[in-house]
Amino acid sequence: MLDRLIARLRSATRVTVMTGAGVSAASGVPTFRGAGGLWRTFRAEDLATPQAFARDPSLVWEWYEWRRATIASCTPNAAHGVLAQWTRESPHCTVITQNVDDLHLRAGTERLVRLHGSIWELACWQRCGTPRWRDERVPLPSRPMTCPSCGSLARPGVVWFGESLSPADLDAASAACSCDVFIAVGTSAIVYPAAGLLQEARSRGAFTAEINVEPTAASSAVDAAIQGGAETVLPEIAARLQVR
């Protein structure tokens, strides 16, 4: 399987990689469904929905602050490094991520599409019109945070369940599905519309692959399902691509 993927990458021009929590696992960021995963302890609908925030903004902020503090102690791993290098080397390599940890950004990834936003950005809950802003302070000075323009509640700059993704990000992600090779890395392929992108790329003729430590909902739908850690498999692929 790995040989087939490497052979296709050698002849490919346009490469798109979509990542999930698994790509940050080696950095120490908890995944959602894995062992010790967020959804094992918390119920998504209790914390990652606009309804939950309306019900108890401080509880939701407490949870995001806990995740921010966890992520702040993490650094990009070899998987983030390889993907950043690929986007620097080739103008036709795009990284789409579901992760809100911004470790791809910190690794220097170019053409990064952050489908679900960033845990380091805030937005006005009342949508007063002020653009979302970045605040990396851990801890944040107040809970809940407020909007610097209208003084009302501020919310984490992430996309919650039941909320639509930004049309610009969706368009960029869809455009990147027109590629020669599409690789899903470290995602359980359960959350939509992200999980639908692999099928979209496949329907446009892309060679599709998956890199994951275990089989997922997408494993039977890809041309090459590679079982292994992103932090080891991606550096191995990069090294073998260097060898002509």
* Given 120, 155, 212, 238, the residue binding ligand BV8 (CB under 6 A): 212
Q: How are beta strands 224-227 and 207-212 bridged, if at all?
A: parallel
Query: Which positions from 112 through 151 interact with Zn ion, judged by CB under 5 A?
Result: 124, 128, 130, 147, 149-150
- Select the residue whose beta carbon is closest to ligand BV8 and give its number: 22
Give yes or no for residue 2 binding Zn ion (CB under 5 A): no
Give yes or no for residue 69 binding ligand BV8 (CB under 6 A): no
Q: Among ligand BV8, Zn ion, none, what does residue 149 contact (CB within 5–8 Å per kind)?
A: Zn ion
Number of residues forming the site for ligand BV8 (CB under 6 A)? 37
Catalytic residue check, 80:
no
Give yes or no for residue 48 binding ligand BV8 (CB under 6 A): yes
- In the complex with ligand BV8, the residue whose CB is nearer, 149 or 166, is 166
Give yes or no for residue 191 binding ligand BV8 (CB under 6 A): yes
Q: Among Zn ion, ligand BV8, none, what does residue 124 contact (CB within 5–8 Å per kind)?
A: Zn ion
Triad 120, 115, 210: Cα angle to 5°:
115
Kindly state the DSSP code that residue 58 receives in the 8-state scheme: H
Contact at 8 Å (CB) between 149 and 124?
Answer: yes
Q: How many residues are listed for the chain in this entry?
A: 244
Partners of residue 113 on adjacent β-strands: 96
* Matching residue, tokens 């919310």: 155
Q: Please report, as a single letter, which amino acid is at residue 208.
A: T
Query: Is the N-terminal amide bond of 193 cis, ω within 30° of 0?
Result: yes
Q: Stretches 4-12, 132-140, 159-167, 235-243: which one binds ligand BV8 (CB under 6 A)? A: 159-167
Where does residue 166 rank: exposed (0-12), middle (13-18), buried (19+ CB within 10 A)? middle
Task: Give the DSSP per-residue string, 107-124.
Answer: TT-SSEEETTEEEEEEEE
Query: Contact positions toward Zn ion, by CB under 5 A?
Result: 124, 128, 130, 147, 149-150
Query: Contact positions toward ligand BV8, by CB under 6 A?
Result: 20-22, 25-26, 31-34, 37, 48, 98, 100, 116, 158-164, 186-188, 190-194, 211-214, 216, 229-231
Catalytic positions are 116
